[in-house]
Chain A
């Protein structure tokens, strides 16, 4: 999860190319995280201290931890913490960037600092992102607090991201940004949820993105928005909304949903209570619309 967020940040800032990002995302699966990256991550050492230890390692036959302790940069307890956290997934990307020589340790430190600042993340929010807990990530990136249905919206979006991973085999990520005021699109897939709470939901994307998602969901290749590809997208939204309703039902909130509809073309405005949420995917943006009123 963190790899996707941080990796795409590096791509957008032209720190790495698309080709390089693809390579490191692949490489990170097999990479062995070294103590320097771990020490930087936990703030035990800065990049200058790590580089100093690395240079000494070339001259003396000692391990990173031994030298760092001798120089007073680490204590025994910190070294044990580093050794036990070597398996944490979110650091794989950092190590893969270094192993590929796309960044050195100082540049990595700088990039992580800039990421935190540019995304306006607090230290706590950055930790949540590193832990990859989607339920906690959503409130760190989006604020639904001005609506009466805020809890339902947070739950809806978290589940939507999980279902993109589960049903479409994609790695979605959000950005901390001002949401678009309106959107026009060739295609809108919508489904209304009604009952004690009304929730009007929809998905919008460029045709290229929709065709890619429809192909992934159906397990067959689509090159045009024909009836079958539309059916695939509508069924994806239907399955997601169904799971959402089951989750609410388990909390004793019983809602109903109407059959899905496909509309084209559409223009949707971001009125009060209507959220147009960009979700970043490998092929481009998917926009999720959630509203407490009919939006088109």
Chain B
């Protein structure tokens, strides 16, 4: 898939996290990086733009990451979801795994972790 077709969605309520992740992903050569600040916004972005990959925070207002993941599975949406959260508790890890998350990155992340995951997917 060409870099023009490849789309990544970042869903995190932190403006700083979205900015930092976007910089890393853009520097990795991905041109289309979408943003959402909660699960509800993310589902709208997915519906409209069909990104192939999503970095998804867990603790967010309005709709959290685990509920968002459940909605994605329920609607059979084809997207690789990488959970990216400070809260990698056993409960969250188990829930993310059960709902089919592709990977789990514990905050604070390292740039190389994000690049490695993107390289593996592309």
Once A239-B86, A242-B86 are accepted as A-B contacts, the answer to whether A259 and B91 lie under 8 Å apart by CB is: no
Q: Which of B17-45 contact A (CB under 8 A)?
A: 17, 19-20
Does B60 touch A at the CB level, under 8 Å?
yes
* Nearest CB of chain B from residue A186's CB, rounded to whole Å: 20
* Nearest CB of chain B from residue A28's CB, rounded to whole Å: 29
Stretch of A104-112, A171-179, A228-236, A286-294 contacting B (4+ beta carbons < 8 Å): A228-236
Known: A243-B86, A246-B88. 13 other contacts (CB 8 A): A227-B15, A231-B14, A232-B16, A238-B107, A239-B108, A242-B86, A242-B106, A245-B89, A250-B90, A254-B91, A257-B87, A258-B59, A259-B60
Contact, CB under 8 Å: A259 / B86: no
Q: Which residue of A lies closest to B19 (CB)?
A: A228
A203 to B94, CA, bound (A): 31
Q: Which residue of A lies closest to B89 (CB)?
A: A249
Once A239-B107, A239-B108, A242-B85 are accepted as A-B contacts, the answer to whether A234 and B59 lie under 8 Å apart by CB is: no
The contact sample of 5 A-B pairs, CB cut-off 8 A, is A227-B15, A228-B16, A239-B86, A248-B89, A258-B59
Once A249-B91, A259-B59 are accepted as A-B contacts, the answer to whether A242 and B107 lie under 8 Å apart by CB is: yes
* Nearest CB of chain A from residue B4's CB, rounded to whole Å: 29
In the complex, the 9 A-B pairs of residues with the closest C-beta atoms, listed nearest first: A242-B86, A249-B89, A231-B15, A231-B16, A242-B87, A239-B86, A259-B61, A235-B14, A249-B90
A167 to B87, CA, bound (A): 16
* Nearest CB of chain B from residue A271's CB, rounded to whole Å: 27
Contact, CB under 8 Å: B88 / A257: no
Q: Which residue of A lies closest to B108 (CB)?
A: A239
A66 to B10, CA, bound (A): 68
For B14, the chain A residues whose CB sits under 8 A away are 231, 234-235, 238
Interface of B toward A, CB cutoff 8 Å: 13-17, 19-20, 59-61, 85-91, 106-108
For B13, the chain A residues whose CB sits under 8 A away are 259
Interface size on A, residues (CB 8 A): 25
Contact, CB under 8 Å: A241 / B89: no
Does A218 touch B at the CB level, under 8 Å?
yes
Q: Which residue of B lies closest to A237 (CB)?
A: B86
For B108, the chain A residues whose CB sits under 8 A away are 167, 239
Q: Contacting B59 at CB < 8 Å: which of A167, A238, A246?
A: A238
A235 to B19, CA, bound (A): 12
* Nearest CB of chain B from residue A231's CB, rounded to whole Å: 4
Interface SS of chain B: helix, strand, loop or mixed?
loop
Q: Contacting A235 at CB < 8 Å: which of B16, B61, B91, B106?
A: B16
For B89, the chain A residues whose CB sits under 8 A away are 245-246, 248-249, 254-255
For A238, the chain B residues whose CB sits under 8 A away are 14, 59, 86, 107
A246 to B91, CA, bound (A): 10
For A249, the chain B residues whose CB sits under 8 A away are 88-91
A239 to B16, CA, bound (A): 12
A156 to B62, CA, bound (A): 28
Once A246-B106, A259-B61 are accepted as A-B contacts, the answer to whether A254 and B90 lie under 8 Å apart by CB is: yes
Q: Which residue of A lies closest to B18 (CB)?
A: A231
A274 to B86, CA, bound (A): 25
Q: Which residue of A lies closest to B16 (CB)?
A: A231
A86 to B20, CA, bound (A): 44
For A228, the chain B residues whose CB sits under 8 A away are 15-16, 19
* Best-surrounded residue of A234, A241, A248, A249 (most CB of chain B within 10 A): A249
Contact, CB under 8 Å: A245 / B87: yes
For A258, the chain B residues whose CB sits under 8 A away are 59
A228 to B107, CA, bound (A): 18
A228 to B20, CA, bound (A): 11
* Nearest CB of chain B from residue A120's CB, rounded to whole Å: 37
Q: Which of A244-293 contact B (CB under 8 A)?
A: 245-246, 248-250, 254-259
* Nearest CB of chain A from residue B49's CB, rounded to whole Å: 24
* Best-surrounded residue of B59, B85, B87 (most CB of chain A within 10 A): B87
